[in-house]
Amino acid sequence: MRKKMTFLGFAFALLAGSLSLQAAGNHPCPRCTTYPDGSQCCVSCVCNGQGFPIACTDNFCPPADGGD
């Protein structure tokens, strides 16, 4: 029962956060890098109403040459 309540609380918090972002005109906007072999690496970001990123995760995409 406690796990269910924790999960429901977490789900509610995510929903509330999502709705507040949309109400402010902000929206998710992943930033993706496409490599020469066709694979992609994407970083999660949130953009404002004009499409400018205002927050991104600490993740990053490695350089196409592997950093050499």
What does the pLDDT read at residue 60? 86
What does the pLDDT read at residue 65? 81
Q: Could you tell me which of 41, 43, 42, 40 has the C-alpha nearest to residue 58?
A: 43
Task: Write the single-letter amino acid at 6.
Answer: T
Print pLDDT tens along the chain (68 aa).
555 545 445 455 544 555 554 557 899 999 999 999 999 999 999 999 999 999 998 888 888 887 66
| Residues making up the chain, counted from first to last | 68
pTM: 0.50
* CB-based contact 8:14 (threshold 8 Å): no
